[in-house]
Amino acid sequence: MLKKNLQETYGCHVFNDTIMCERLPKETYMELKKTIEEGTPLPSGTADIVANAMKDWAIENGATHYTHWFQPLNGFTAEKHDSFLILSKEGRALTEFSGKSLIKGEPDASSFPSGGLRATFEARGYTAWDCTSPAFLKEDSSGLTLCIPTAFCSYNGAALDKKTPLLRSVEAISRQAIRVLRLFGDTKTTRVQVSCGAEQEYFLVDKDMFKKRLDLMFTGRTLLGAKPPKTQEMDDHYFGTLKERVSAFMKELDEALWKIGVPAKTKHNEAAPAQHELAPIFETVNVACDHNQITMELMRKIADHHNMVCLLHEKPFAGLNGSGKHNNWSLSTSDGVNLLNPGKTPRENAQFLVFLCAVISAIDDHAALIRASAANAGNDFRLGALEAPPAIISIFLGDELTDILEQLETGEEHDTKRGGVLDTGVPSLPNLFLDTTDRNRTSPFAFTGNKFEFRMVPSSASIAGPNTVLNTVVAEALAQIADRLEGTKDFNKELNELLAEMIKKHKRIIFNGNGYSDEWVLEAKRRGLPNINNSADSYAAFIQPESIAMFEKHHVYSRAELESRYEIKMEKYIKIVGIEARTLLQMINRQIIPACTKYANDTAKTILHIKSADSLCDTLALEEVLRKTTSGLSALTKALKKLERAAEKSERFGEDYVAQAKFSRESVVAAMNEVRKIADELEGIVGKEYWPIPTYSDLIYSV
C-alpha cells in the first residue's frame, strides 16, 4: 500500500539529494555533490561522514545489513550482505559502517565469469562505490537492505563488470562532446551527460502452468508449442484493458519502484497476449542502467507474489511478438540542454546538425559493433521476426530531416519554406517541426524528435553494453569532427564541407521505409550494409583491430577486457544452446513420446474394440489418426537421434569457440527446429487430455 501519496512514496527508500542535504554537514554535502556532478575524487575523511549518515538513515528505516550491489559479466546483479554489527570489548552489540566499507568491498570473485581477466588463484575482486548512482534500501520479505551501487574490478584494475566500462564511456563522450560545444562558442558546459530511458517489455504467465514446462523453467522460452488459432491477429491486446491480476501486479511493481526512486511512468499491454511494457522517465544512463536492472529483478519477484512468472526472454513464444528494450538515448549539457533537440537559433541548429551527423556517421562506421552490442542467443529468434527490427542496422530520420540533410549535402535549397540560409550556408531550421508522430516501428535505430531509439536491445540483457558501445562510437565521431574543425580559419566553410562530406559518405544508413520488408534486405545489401543474422557471428566485431583501437583510444575497454567479453559471450551462447538442446531432448523423450505412445495405444485399442463389437463398423478415421500419430512418432524419433548426435558433438570442440558456436547454430539449433516442427504437428493430432504440457493457449491466456 502506498505510504501516503505518490510524492511522499517516491524515493522514500533512496539516500537522495534531499536526505543528504538534511543529514550531512554542509561541507561534506558540497564535497560529495561535486564528486557526483563533476566526477572529482571524494576527499578522504568525507567518506566516513557519509557512511555514518547512510548507516543511521538505513537503521532508522529498519535495515540491519548493507551490500555492495554490482553487475558482474553474467548480466545479473550480485550482492553480498554484511550486517552493521560490531562487538564492543564487553561483547555488546554496536553498529558501524566505515567510509572504507562504503567505498570499497572485497567479495570473492572467483565464481563470476571473467573471461580469463582474473587468474583463478587471485580470487579477489574489488567493488568500488559509484556515488553517481544513489544508495537505496532494497525491500524483500526479510526487510530492508542498504544497497550501494558499485563498480567491480580485478586486483589489477581490469573491469569485471558492466558498470565500469559504461562509466568510462560516459566520460569519453562527455570529453569529446565538450570539444565540439567549444567550437560553437559554448564556454560554460563542464559535462555532457547521456540520458537514457529503457522501455521494458515482458510476458506474464501463470506460475502453475510455468512449472509444468521444463523449457520455460530451464531456458526461459518455449522450445515446443503449436501456434493457437488466435494470438494477436485482432490487435485486441495492445493497449487493451488490464486484467485484474496483471493490474495488481503492476500496481505493486510501480510502488516498489517508486520507493527506490525508479521513475516508472507508463504501463500497458503490448501486442502479444500476455505481453506488457513498462517505461520509466529517462535518467542519466548510469542510473537508468542500475534502475533497469532493479526493474527486471522486481518484475520477477513481484510476479511471484501474484502466482505468476515474469518472462524476460526475447522470444518466449515462437510466432508471437518478441520482447525488447527500446533504449531511448540522447545527450544533454550540464545545464540540461538536449543536444539532439533542434534549436531555435541558426547557431543551435547548426550545432544540432553536427551532433545528429555525428550519430549517423558513428552508427554507419560501426554498424557491426552496434549490432553486436544488442546480440544474445534469445535475440536471434527475435530480430527480423514479427514486429521486431531486422538484424540490419539502419537509421530512421523521417522525411523532413532526411530532406534537410539532402539540402546540406548538395548545398542547394529546394524548398524555400524551410527558411533562409545561415551565413554558414547551413539551411536554418527556424520553424522546424519534426513530426515525431511518424514513428517508424520497423527501424532498429530511429530518431524520434529529440532522441534516438535503439530498438534492437534484448529484453533480458543489461542496457550497459549497448550504451557503452553507443557512447563510444559517438565519442569517436565527435572526436573526428573536433579534430577537423579545431583551429580552422574559416569555421563556417569548413563546417559546411564537413557536414556535406559526412552526409554523402553515410547517407546509405538512412532508411525511412519498411524495415520488415524483403525489399529492404536486398536494398541494404546493395548499399553495402552488414546483415549479421545471428549473435555468435556478430560478436567478432568486438575484437576487430579497429574496434580495439577505438575502445582503447577512448579508455573504455582495454584489449584484454574486450577479449574477455568476447570469450564470455561466445561461451554463453554455446552454453545456452546446449541447455536448450538437453531440455528439449528430455521433454521429448520423457513427456512427448510417452504421451503420443499412450494416445496411439488407446486409439489402437479403441479400433480393435469397435471392430470386435461389430466388424462392419467404419474405423477409417481412427485408423488415420493412428497412422498419423505413429508416423509422427517415427519422424520424431529420427529427428531426435539427429539432435542427440549434434548435441553430443557440440561438446567436443575444446576451446575453438568460433567453430563450436557455428556448429551449435547450424547443427544443434537446426536439429531442434526439426524436432519442434514434428512435435508441434503431433500436438495438433494427439488428444488434448493426453498432451503432457500446457499448450500455447494454456500459457498465453493463463493470467
Report, in Å, the least distance between residue 470 CB and ligand ADP: 12
On whether the CB atoms of residues 84 and 97 are closer than 8 A, the answer is: yes
Binding partner selected for residue 196 from ligand ADP, Mg ion, none, CB under the kind-specific 5 to 8 Å limit: ligand ADP
What is the nearest approach in angstroms of Mg ion to the Cβ of residue 446?
8
Q: State the binding partner of 197 from ligand ADP, Mg ion, none, CB within 5 to 8 A by kind.
A: ligand ADP
Q: In the bound complex, which residue of the shown chain has the CB atom lying closest to ligand ADP?
A: 197
Sign of torsion over alpha carbons 109, 111, 116, 120: positive
- Identity of residue 566: Y
Residue (149 or 280) nearer to ligand ADP, CB: 280
Residue 247 to residue 149: CA distance in whole angstroms: 30
> CB of 453: closest distance to Mg ion in angstroms?
5
Answer yes or no: are the C-beta atoms of 574 and 567 closer than 8 Å: no
Which of Mg ion, ligand ADP, none interacts with 291 (beta carbon under 5 to 8 A by kind)? none
Q: Identify what 277 binds: ligand ADP, Mg ion, none; CB under 5 to 8 Å per kind.
A: none
Region 320-339 residues binding Mg ion, contact defined as CB under 5 A: 326
Distant-in-sequence contacts of 226-230, Cβ < 8 A, 24+ apart: 226/680, 226/681, 226/683, 226/684, 226/695, 226/696, 227/318, 227/319, 227/320, 227/696, 228/695, 228/696, 228/697, 228/700
Cβ nearer to ligand ADP, comparing 35 with 195: 195
How would you class 526 by CB atoms within 10 Å of its CB: exposed for 0-12, middle for 13-18, buried for 19 or more?
exposed
Residue whose C-alpha is closest to residue 456's, from 369, 383, 540:
383
Q: Looking at 108-194, list the stretches that DSSP marks H as alpha helix, in order from N- to C-terminal side.
A: 163-183
Measured between alpha carbons, how far is 163 from 465 in angstroms, rounded to an integer? 9
Return the number of the residue (83 or 436) whose C-beta is nearest Mg ion. 436
- Give the one entry of Mg ion, ligand ADP, none that residue 398 binds, where binding means its C-beta sits below a cut-off of 5 to 8 angstroms depending on kind: none
How is residue 338 annotated by DSSP?
B
Length of the chain: 703
Least distance to Mg ion, CB of residue 187, Å? 36
Distance separating alpha carbons of residues 231 and 228, to the nearest angstrom: 7
Q: Does 168 bind Mg ion (CB under 5 A)?
A: no
Q: Which is nearer to ligand ADP, 199 or 201 (CB)?
A: 199
The residue (of 436 and 673) whose beta carbon lies closer to Mg ion is: 436
Residue 450 binds what, of Mg ion, ligand ADP, none (CB under 5 to 8 Å, by partner type)? Answer: ligand ADP
- Distance between CA atoms of residues 520 and 513, nearest Å: 8
Binding site for ligand ADP (CB under 6 A): 195-197, 199, 279-282, 326, 328-330, 338, 450-451
Give min distance, CB of 485 to ligand ADP, in A. Answer: 25
66 vs 452, beta carbon nearer ligand ADP: 452
Residue 280's binding partner among ligand ADP, Mg ion, none (Cβ under 5 to 8 angstroms by kind) is ligand ADP
Answer with the entry of ligand ADP, Mg ion, none that 338 interacts with (C-beta below 5 to 8 A by kind).
ligand ADP
Closest CA to 485 of 387, 609, 574, 354: 354
In whole angstroms, how far apart are CA 260 and each of 171, 254, 268, 276, 474? 26, 10, 21, 22, 31
Q: In the complex with Mg ion, which residue's Cβ is closer, 381 or 452?
A: 452
User: Could you tell me which stretch among 309-317, 318-326, 564-572, 675-683 binds Mg ion (CB under 5 A)?
Assistant: 318-326
Nearer to ligand ADP, 280 or 398 (CB): 280
* Nearer to ligand ADP among residue 16 and residue 338 (C-beta): 338
What does the binding site for Mg ion look like in residue numbers (CB under 5 A)?
A: 326
